[in-house]
Amino acid sequence: MIEWARVEELRSEVGPENFPEVVALFLEETDAAMAALNPDAGPAKIRQALHFLKGAALNLGLRGVVALCRQEERCVTCGSPMPFDFVALTDTYLCSRAELLAGLPDEIPGQIRNSASASSPVISR
């Protein structure tokens, strides 16, 4: 689910000293976006949230999240009668986030790891 080449590219772009902060910011922003995503919101709000999540996920190589956001964004844009699959997106995000943290080196502080634990209140189904 993770495009590790993109993770290394980002580390190179921002520098190893700034990388933990970038990861923390990513997790903070995407956790908040996931928590605020309401499957009952109107199409415009859902499309906007999906677009934001897609961009954030692209930055850290979360391929599964990117693919689902693209698919759902297209469906919402085209007025598809299929309901937005919030559960699939939530599950994919949580799995991707866990995989990302598991694959990051020990230089990532525990506080960042703990801030993105699966027990965080991000998901309220």
What is the C-alpha separation between 61 and 30, in angstroms, rounded? 13
> Residue 111: pLDDT above 70?
no
Per-residue confidence (pLDDT) for residue 123, from 0 to 100: 45
pTM of the model: 0.82
Whether 77 shows a pLDDT value over 70: the answer reads yes
Beta-bridge partner residues of 62 = 2
pLDDT digits (tens, 9 = 90+) for 23-72: 888 888 998 888 888 888 888 888 899 999 999 999 999 999 999 999 99
Instruction: Kindly list the domain boundaries of the chain, sorted by start residue.
Output: 4-115
The confidence band for 107, taking pLDDT boundaries of 50, 70 and 90, is low
Task: Say whether 101 sits in a helix, a strand or coil.
Answer: helix
State the Cα–Cα distance between residues 41 and 1, nearest whole angstrom.
28
Is the pLDDT reported for residue 103 higher than 80?
Answer: yes
Q: Let me know: does 125 contact 88? Beta carbons within 8 Å.
A: no
39: left (phi > 0), else alpha (psi -120 to 50), else beta? alpha
Those residues whose C-beta lies under 8 Å from the C-beta of residue 8, and which sit 6 or more positions away, are: none
Q: What percent of the chain has pLDDT over 90?
A: 45
Give the largest Cα separation in the chain, rounded. Answer: 47
Given a contact cutoff of 8 angstroms between Cβ atoms, the answer to whether 24 and 115 are in contact is: yes
Hey, is 62 helix, strand or coil?
strand
A 10 A CB-CB count for 104 gives: 17
Residue 120's pLDDT band (boundaries 50, 70, 90)? Answer: very low
Q: What percent of the chain has pLDDT over 70?
A: 83
